[in-house]
Structure 1
Amino acid sequence: MCLAMPARVVQVLEDDNALVDIGGVRKTISLGLVDGVGEGDYVIVHVGYAISRLDAAEAARTLALFEELQALEKA
């Protein structure tokens, strides 16, 4: 099973890269597949690549679902 995660862009770097925050973990990813991404935007990240942009409301809903799943797993 493959899983793509919403991530907030913290900093746009050189060479089509960006520093993103995924649940408190910061990671450098490639923006080479998505145009027009800026700091504060949300992207869907899969295996180190942003594969699409995501609006903030949809990112919040998706992240809330992941939190619910984590809570259920702990219960």
Structure 2
Amino acid sequence: MCLAIPGKLVTIATQHDEVFKKGKVSFEGILREVNLSMVPEAKEGDYVLVHVGVAISVVDEEEAQKTFEYLKMIGEVDEELGEESGV
């Protein structure tokens, strides 16, 4: 199943074109490069929902934590982040 997973935006790569804006998002320590073009308002330290490598919305920290814990509980985090997640 393809779900949006919340993660913390750690760094934003310097880009001259918003369409190709990328950043590193941490999913409890697992870093992934993510396309940020759909969330131009996102800044380092924000939590974003990521679906198939694209940040689709900015969410608050409490919502992100609750969602991540629920997804871990039902086993979706391993499926979405791969075997290296180990959560």
- State the SS of the aligned residue for 2:74: helix
2:72 is the alignment partner of 1:62 = no
Alignment partner, residue 6 of structure 1: 6
Post-superposition shift, 1:38? Answer: 0.8
Q: How many residues align?
A: 70
Unaligned runs of 5+ in 1: 71-75
Post-superposition shift, 1:23? Answer: 2.9
Q: Distance in 2 between matches of 1:51 and 1:39?
A: 15
Q: Distance in 2 between matches of 1:66 and 1:24?
A: 16
TM-score for both structures, normalised by structure 2: 0.72
Identity among equivalent pairs (%):
37
TM-score for both structures, normalised by structure 1: 0.82
Q: Which has the higher strand share?
A: 1
List aligned pairs for 1:1-75, cutoff 5 A: 1-15=1-15, 16-70=21-75
- State the SS of the aligned residue for 1:10: strand
Runs of 4+ in 1 over 2 A off after TM superposition: 66-70
Q: Distance in 2 between matches of 1:39 and 1:7?
A: 11
Post-superposition shift, 1:22? Answer: 1.4
